[in-house]
Chain A
Amino acid sequence: MHEWALAESVVQTALKVADKENIGKITQCKVVLGELQQIDKDTFRFAIKQIADSHHSQFDKVEVLIETEKTGLLCQKCGHSWDYENVKGDLTGDQAEAIHFIPEVVFVHTRCPQCGGVDFGIAKGRGIYLATIEGER
């Protein structure tokens, strides 16, 4: 499961922030997951908690909140904007899975639904971010 690698990145980032903010035990972290990553929230939460458990001295039964940010796309050519969910139904299984691995291949496997253009951008809903952590000093 390749999500494990990304879950590890959440834990590592939380540890860095905790170190910087002098937080001894992390009790909660909030993650923003770009929709384009196509990662199941429950699976991701489980992976983060499993990896956090291996750092038990820093994570005290951590609560993991995950918010998905919808992916919005914008065509540079015609100005049309659309949500990824409007086009993902047109993808083959392989195309959807490719985007799940490397989200930016959305530029390979989709086009602007209005003008068919290749020059569009991801306005929101990509990447994985640690939004907040809470803990005890």
Chain B
Amino acid sequence: MRRMETRTSVIAERLKDIDRIVAVTSGKGGVGKSLVAATLAAALASAGNHVGLLDLDLQGPSSHIILGVKSLDFPEEKQGILPPLVNGIKFMSLVYFSKDKPGAFRGIDVTNIMIELLAITQWGHLNTLVIDMPPGIGDETLDVLAYIPQANFLVVGIASKVAFGGIEKLVNILIEGKVSVLGVIENMRRDGAKKASNLSSLNIPFLGALRFDPSIEDAIGKPGALLSTPFGSDIESLRKEIEKRI
């Protein structure tokens, strides 16, 4: 008998009481994916959902900054680890163990971190788990496709020729993989921008636009304040759209 990795055998068990999983992804960095993911989680929580947020951007985690996490103490242990409740959101991130210090991880290390986090985190019942994915189509994306086949992908993009190529490549890979893709949301839309951005030409539903909003920066770390910004208001509309679709 070939020796068998055991941790992957319980990932489905850990996720079984989660009604829906939304993986927020983008083909390019810097499009505001983490802000969309964290604010969406906050909007879902504010609407009365039991929500989790898993930060899988292992090299550059930022969800803890957006949510305003105050303590990086180790999570409580109970038949695994319990994701701490942060502003009404069950939150899990590598930062609780890296203490927000840098680490250089190769592909196999990334996969092992994901497997360990997914195997030991006890989410309990959630209406929605939001996953903040890293940009691009690397190990994290491939591992989510392998271990979380029920994930619904929400693609975040911006109407820029520079970003379009990377976003289109990601979308095509997701379509080839026959995974559930909710659609693409255009972030940072400026006043006076063309109504139909290049993102609407992608072969997936176009879910609308989030306004460019300079007031976000001061609201980072305060999910309630984020929800009160124009961006937050647009995220609330996105939340309703997502809840209609899945």
Contact = CB atoms under 8 A, between A and B. Distances in A.
A113 to B, nearest CB: 16
A46 interface: no
Given A9-B9, A101-B74, A107 B122 contact: no
A8 B1 CA distance: 20
Bin the interface of chain A by size: 35 or more
B212 interface: no
Nearest to B80: A5
A5 B79 contact: yes
B119 A6 contact: yes
Contacts of B102: 108
B113 A102 contact: yes
Contacts of B79: 1-2, 4-5, 8
A104 B81 CA distance: 17
B5 A101 contact: no
A75 to B, nearest CB: 12
A5 B82 CA distance: 11
Given A16-B9, A131-B1, 4 more contacts: A2-B80, A126-B112, A129-B6, A133-B1
Interface of A: 1-2, 4-6, 8-10, 12-13, 16-17, 31-32, 94, 97-98, 101-105, 107-109, 118-119, 121-122, 126-133
22 contacts: A2-B79, A4-B80, A5-B119, A6-B7, A8-B13, A12-B6, A13-B4, A16-B9, A17-B4, A97-B74, A98-B98, A101-B81, A101-B96, A102-B94, A104-B113, A104-B116, A108-B101, A109-B101, A121-B108, A127-B5, A127-B112, A129-B6
